[in-house]
A and B are shown apart, each in its own frame.
Chain A
Amino acid sequence: MAAITQAQAKPQTRRIGRARLRDWLDGYLLTSPFIIGFLVFTAFPMLYAIWLSFHKWNLIGAPTFVGLDNYIKALTHPTAQLSLYNSAFYTVFAVPIQLVISFTLALALTQAIRLRDLYRAGFYLPIIVPLVASAVVWQRVFHPEFGILNEALGWFGIPPAKWLFDPALAKPAFILMSFWMIGRQMVIFIAGLGNIPQSLLEAASIDGAGPVRRLFSIVIPLMTPLIFYNCVIAVINSFQIFVPALIMTDGGPQNATLFAVLNIYREGFQFFNMGYAAALSWELFIIVIGFTIAQFRLSQRWVYYSD
């Protein structure tokens, strides 16, 4: 009897084993594009960049080992320091104001105004404009003589400024331009505002909370996860600003818009200092990751999670 059940059970377990093996095989087959892609296009290049960063190489001849020279240069060279300062300046001023503008727009566009969907689409439109087109247009928006910005400021009696030609105003001009491209953040906020339970706001009204009180005591606390998310993404993207700088100013005037990625691009693809460029990009990478981790740490203090 026992022998029979054993005999029956044996092929069964083997079949289960085979099914599991089948699962494993399917799992690896299905995810193989990511496994291969991650190893070949992400992991290997990152490690290779570390190796490169300890060498001096201009793509011709053999790389020569230089130890920490590239990193010392990346940390001490005035141009490298300036490029990091420019990117940090841009990020520190652009991101918070972007968040305020996109949040305010989202609040306004969830009120019962007419043609709301059309307004939303209009504010989202700048995201649709290809970045290269945006850059060449804004280069002219800022033109001291024929640009529409100085023209519009003139209507209010504000004297024309030199914007992209003035070292003191070039970075603020880029920051101003970034406020134009907040459509994505706005749509995320609109989606989040739609998820705030109506009953909560009504209960607060009955308890006598005015609009301002409701905004600061209910709406904003409930929106903190999305504010946090938008902030993290905006910081990562702002630190890596490149295309507008290359097209509109090419780093000028007087390196006022020489942002970190533009500096890396120049070192790598104009001067062919591959090792130094690799060290610079690892430096920027660590800074951006550092900011991201710091934000996640700090988020525990101010981000509200309902569950």
Chain B
Amino acid sequence: MATQAITPSLATGRPGSRQLSRIAGLVILQIVMTVCLITFLAPTFWMISSSLKASTEVFQHPIVWIPESPQWSNYAKVFQTLPFAKFAWNTFVVVVLAVFGTVVSTALVAYGLARVEFPGRRILFALMVATIMLPDIVTLIPRFIMFRTFRWIDTFAPLTVPFWFALTTLYVFLMYQFLRGIPKELDEAATIDGANRWQILWHVILPLCKPVIATIAVFALIQHYNEFLTPLIYLNRLDNWTLALGVRALNDSNVANWELVFAASTLMLIPALLLFIVAQRYFVQGIALTGFGGR
């Protein structure tokens, strides 16, 4: 895949002068794509480089791309301004609980829909697919009132508990599609060997589903790590905040200290970036698996 084009070049033709013009075309394309890539990366690069600038350097003309002497103390200042260590811990707790619940409930529901015959299965499947495209704005207000009567305000429950009930049905669909690719003969052989359905799920199906589970976990991680609106509504007390709320608060309160805002943003990017580097193939796999790409 690294050396061979997936699609044939649009410029394939006869050898000779055609070949030459094809190479010229590729060189031009390479240059154009490099310029595009630099443009795309510029905001992120600027963010990281500015996070290390001195206060005055941020406002210099022309723009300083590489800081004169990196101010690592900016990062320390972020932690002094707001309790970012606490925010990071809160984010960690929320993300772990939500992702774990997502994976467990998604696996159970997808397995039930894909492998078990029972009345109402088709209706459930249709509901599941329909909720993938349901605009979630409609449940924002009523859920808030509901969770308020549950006394869930200023707890992590609204950010985690719903996801133990396969709320992100896109993942159920993803896993359902994957399960359909696993031959049913495997289940039947295990049944003959005397395994019951739960044993089949645990010993036969789940080990085969590792790739799709990894994909779902990676998507869910990014989704819950980035979540902003629900923490904003449900978490009022400062020591309950997540990183997303912390970055926003720092942005609102430090109008003149851009380097701090950039440092906090970079801090928040680092775990996501590490995940992307480690699990890159699961991002691509998940998208290619069904043509669906998370949100």
List chain A positions with a Cβ less than 8 A from chain B: 23-24, 26-31, 33-38, 40-42, 44-46, 48-49, 52, 59, 105, 107-114, 116-117, 119, 121-126, 128-134, 136-141, 145-146, 148, 151-152, 180, 184-185, 187-188, 190-194, 196, 198, 201-202, 205, 211, 214-215, 219, 225-226, 229, 232-233, 236-237, 239-240, 242-243, 247, 261, 264-265, 268-269, 274, 277-278, 281-282, 284-285, 288-289, 292
Chain B: minimal CB distance from A49 (Å): 4
Do A45 and B33 contact each other (CB < 8 Å), given the known contacts A30-B112, A247-B248? no
Question: With a CB–CB cut-off of 8 A, which chain B residues contact A284?
Answer: 135, 137-138
Query: In the complex, which residues 195-252 of chain B have their Cβ closer than 8 Å to any Cβ of chain A?
Result: 197-198, 222, 225-226, 228-229, 233, 243-244, 247-248, 251
Contact B291 A116 (CB under 8 A): no
With beta carbons under 8 angstroms apart, the residue of B112, B162, B228 that contacts A37 is B162
Do A49 and B139 contact each other (CB < 8 Å), given the known contacts A113-B30, A122-B40? yes
Contact B138 A281 (CB under 8 A): yes
Contact A278 B118 (CB under 8 A): no
Tell me if B76 counts as interface (CB < 8 A to partner A).
no
0 or 1 for each of B279-295: is its CB under 8 Å from A? (1 = yes): 01001100110011111
Question: With a CB–CB cut-off of 8 A, which chain A residues contact B141?
Answer: 49, 52, 264, 268, 274, 277-278, 281
Going nearest first, the 6 A-B pairs with the smallest beta carbon separation are A37-B165, A30-B112, A27-B118, A133-B265, A45-B142, A211-B10
Tell me if B258 counts as interface (CB < 8 A to partner A).
yes
Further pairs besides A111-B29, A239-B135: 12, Cβ < 8 Å: A26-B118, A27-B118, A30-B109, A31-B121, A124-B283, A125-B44, A133-B268, A201-B12, A214-B10, A215-B10, A229-B291, A274-B141
Tell me if B146 counts as interface (CB < 8 A to partner A).
yes
- Count class of interface residues, chain B: 35 or more
Question: With a CB–CB cut-off of 8 A, which chain A residues contact B44?
Answer: 125-126, 129, 137
Contact A141 B43 (CB under 8 A): yes
Question: With a CB–CB cut-off of 8 A, which chain A residues contact B287?
Answer: 184, 187-188, 191
Chain B residue with the shortest CB-CB distance to A196: B7
Chain A residue with the shortest CB-CB distance to B12: A205
Contact B29 A35 (CB under 8 A): no
Chain A residue with the shortest CB-CB distance to B105: A33
List chain B positions with a Cβ less than 8 A from chain A: 1-2, 4-13, 26, 29-30, 32-33, 36-37, 40-44, 46-47, 58-59, 61-63, 105, 108-109, 111-113, 116-119, 121, 124, 127-128, 131, 133-146, 148, 162, 164-167, 169, 172, 197-198, 222, 225-226, 228-229, 233, 243-244, 247-248, 251, 258, 261-262, 264-266, 268-269, 272-273, 275-276, 280, 283-284, 287-288, 291-295
Instruction: State in angstroms the CA–CA spacing of A292 and B26 once bound together.
Output: 39
Contact B111 A30 (CB under 8 A): yes
Instruction: State in angstroms the CA–CA spacing of A226 and B37 once bound together.
Output: 24
Contact B7 A36 (CB under 8 A): no
With beta carbons under 8 angstroms apart, the residue of B29, B46, B124 that contacts A113 is B29
Chain A: minimal CB distance from B110 (Å): 9
Instruction: State in angstroms the CA–CA spacing of A129 and B41 once bound together.
Output: 11
Most buried by A among B4, B116, B137, B144: B137
Contact A42 B117 (CB under 8 A): no
Question: With a CB–CB cut-off of 8 A, which chain A residues contact B166?
Answer: 33-34, 37
Chain A: minimal CB distance from B199 (Å): 12
Instruction: State in angstroms the CA–CA spacing of A148 and B229 once bound together.
Output: 28
Query: 28 interchain pairs (CB within 8 A)?
Result: A27-B112, A28-B118, A34-B166, A41-B162, A44-B142, A48-B142, A105-B36, A107-B10, A108-B29, A112-B9, A117-B1, A123-B40, A125-B40, A130-B269, A131-B244, A134-B43, A191-B288, A201-B7, A219-B10, A233-B133, A237-B295, A243-B229, A264-B141, A268-B141, A269-B233, A278-B142, A281-B141, A285-B137
Question: With a CB–CB cut-off of 8 A, which chain B residues contact A188?
Answer: 287, 291, 293
